[in-house]
């Protein structure tokens, strides 16, 4: 009887310790979402000093005529980041590595950027990458287009009859 109780307590302790630890890993479903072929749309960026960027591009409100940016994480651990400001492209490519709940980029010059802490909201289709006080908020590109399409319908001026 004492042996059963000891085994039960060991099992319960192991479960209590391992569940929070396992939550730090990116799940298979989250990885599939991260690697969506259409990528992610940047929605908001706060700089390393914690202040939002001066340019209104990534203040949380869409400005598709002025600027936009996407991040695509391929299944072959390759990334493409495209930022357009007033029609001028800035494209970066390279490889990335996911380790537990952290994402590290290595650009075309093998310069390391990160590791960023990954926070994925599968229901809202959002992704946050955070490194210290630097924070990037992204939305799944398909979801971003869908939401903007519905917002444009809601805010379009109604014609009088």
Model pLDDT for residues 130-159, shown as the tens digit of each residue: 998 888 899 999 998 888 776 655 444 444
CB 135 within 8 A of CB 128: yes
CA distances, 148 to each of 43, 96, 130, 132, 139 (Å): 12, 29, 25, 30, 11
In this prediction, residue 62 carries a pLDDT of 60
DSSP structure string for 84-119: EETTEEEEEEEEEEEETTEEEEEETT--EEEEEEEE
| Mean pLDDT, all residues of the chain | 76
Reported pTM: 0.69
**Confidence band, pLDDT 50/70/90 cuts, at residue 88:** confident
Q: What is the pLDDT of residues 37-54, one digit of tens each?
A: 999 998 888 776 544 454
The sign of the torsion formed by the CA atoms of 42, 45, 47, 53 equals positive
| Average pLDDT value for residue range 94-109 | 95
The token duo for 90 is 């800035």
Candidates 106, 109, 131; CA nearest to 119 is 131
Sign of the C-alpha dihedral computed for residues 133, 100, 42 and 74 taken in this order: positive
Paired residues of 82 in beta bridges: 70, 91
Helix (H) or strand (E) holding 29: helix 28-34
Q: Which CATH number fits domain 40-142: 2.40.128.280, 2.40.10.10, 1.20.1250.20, 3.30.499.10?
A: 2.40.128.280
What pLDDT score was predicted for residue 25?
A: 67
């Amino acid at each position: 009887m004492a042996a059963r109780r000891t085994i039960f307590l060991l099992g319960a302790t192991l479960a209590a310790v391992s569940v929070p630890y396992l939550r730090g890993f990116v799940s298979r479903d989250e990885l599939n979402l991260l690697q969506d072929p259409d990528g992610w749309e940047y929605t908001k960026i706060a700089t390393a000093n914690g202040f939002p960027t001066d340019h209104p591009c990534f203040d949380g409100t869409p400005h598709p005529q002025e600027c936009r940016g996407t991040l695509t994480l391929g299944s072959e651990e390759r990334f493409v980041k495209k930022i357009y400001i007033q029609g001028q492209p800035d494209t970066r490519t390279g490889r990335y590595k996911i380790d537990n709940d952290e994402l590290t980029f290595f650009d075309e010059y093998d310069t390391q950027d990160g590791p960023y802490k990954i926070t994925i909201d599968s229901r809202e289709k959002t992704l946050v990458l955070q490194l210290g006080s630097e924070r990037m908020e992204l939305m799944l590109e398909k979801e971003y287009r869908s939401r903007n399409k519905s917002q444009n319908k809601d805010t379009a001026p109604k014609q009088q009859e």
